[in-house]
Amino acid sequence: MELRVLNYFLAVAREQNISAAAQALHISQPALSTQLRTLEEDLGKQLLIRGTKGSRKVILTDEGMILRKRAEEILSLVQKTQDEISGSDETIVGDVYIGTGETDIVRMFARAAKKLQADHPDIHYHISSGNAQYVLEYLDKGLIDFGLLLSNEDPLKYESLPIPVQDTWGVLMRRDSPLAAKDSITPQDLWDQPLIISHQKGDDNYLAQWMKRDVDSLNVVATYNLVFNASLLVDEGLGYALCFDKLINTENTSLCFRPFSPRLEAYGHIVWKKYQVFSKAAQAFLDCLKEMLTDPRQDSGQAP
């Protein structure tokens, strides 16, 4: 399976039309059709459903959708590898890929990038968001250099760097909500309230311990993956969102945040694959993070 053919296949999947894909690739339609048929024969599976008369739209089969996902990952990894190898020996250039969930700890990445920018302006950063499962999957496939997780992972498989900064759990609510009059929120305050909770894997058990109730016994009216979306549900009066502080700016809005009582905090870990061979750019970024963590003034964004 050639990389060139994978590019052809992705062009067809993107355009949903063989003629349009051929034009974008600057090859003839018969040549493209031949390459696609050969690809299907090699894999022994139909990848595309060609349009019937009156329609030129191409639809991916289930196998075609699997190939599209894998082809995107393969070509992304190839490009990443080429960029790392072709970098200059004299200067540090390249890309740093980071996977993370929604957390204020991402500010530390921004501070490290800013600190490196003066000496290494040709390092570029790519941050993608997802849950812990997403981050670990992309780490394992080599599509990202680092992951930011709020849980410990297998030390036999991953190296990690603890972050001495915590996220604070609490409740995002409307300012006119009954609970907004309180300075902090107890488990009992939430037992009978309509709740909006994260569907991040592992959060259920974490919150259940604090709530002293099984999540299934609570009045969960919605779940979220992005806190911004949860904030819209809260603003419309659907319920109370359980989330981290500092992710939604509540100043001069109809929303407010109240921390849990007793306090519940989560600590982050920067994680990478064991025995990982980093590009010069990724290694410089990791070294900068380590340096910041040994100097509390730099960690807090203060000048040395």
pLDDT tens digits for range 23-70: 888 889 899 999 999 999 999 999 998 876 556 788 899 999 999 999
Confidence category of residue 116, pLDDT binned at 50, 70, 90: very high
Instruction: Round to whole Å and give the CA distance between 185 and 190.
Output: 8
Residues paired with residue 107 on neighbouring β-strands, in sequence order = none
Position 79 scores a pLDDT of 79
CB of 214 closer than 8 Å to CB of 197: no
Q: How high does pLDDT run on average in the chain?
A: 87
- Cβ proximity of 98 and 125 under 8 Å: yes
Please give the pLDDT value at position 77. 84
Answer whether 0.85 is exceeded by the pTM.
no
**What integer is the mean pLDDT of 215-239?**
93
List C-alpha distances in Å: 153 to 16, 84, 148, 159, 271. Answer: 40, 27, 11, 9, 8
H/E stretch holding 20 reads helix 18-25
pLDDT at 206 > cutoff 80: no
pLDDT at position 55, please?
61
Dump pLDDT digits (tens) for 134-175: 888 888 888 899 999 887 777 888 899 988 878 899 999 999
pLDDT at 180 (0 to 100): 96
265-273/146-149 β-pairing: antiparallel
E strand intervals along the chain:
48-49, 59-60, 94-100, 123-129, 146-149, 158-174, 195-198, 220-224, 240-244, 255-259, 265-273
Over 60: is that where the pLDDT of 304 sits? no
Q: Which residues contact 166 (CB under 8 A, 6 or more apart)?
A: 265, 266, 267, 268
Q: Are 255 and 179 contacting, i.e. CB atoms less than 8 angstroms apart?
A: no
pLDDT at 86 over 70: no
Q: Are 261 and 190 in contact (CB under 8 A)?
A: no
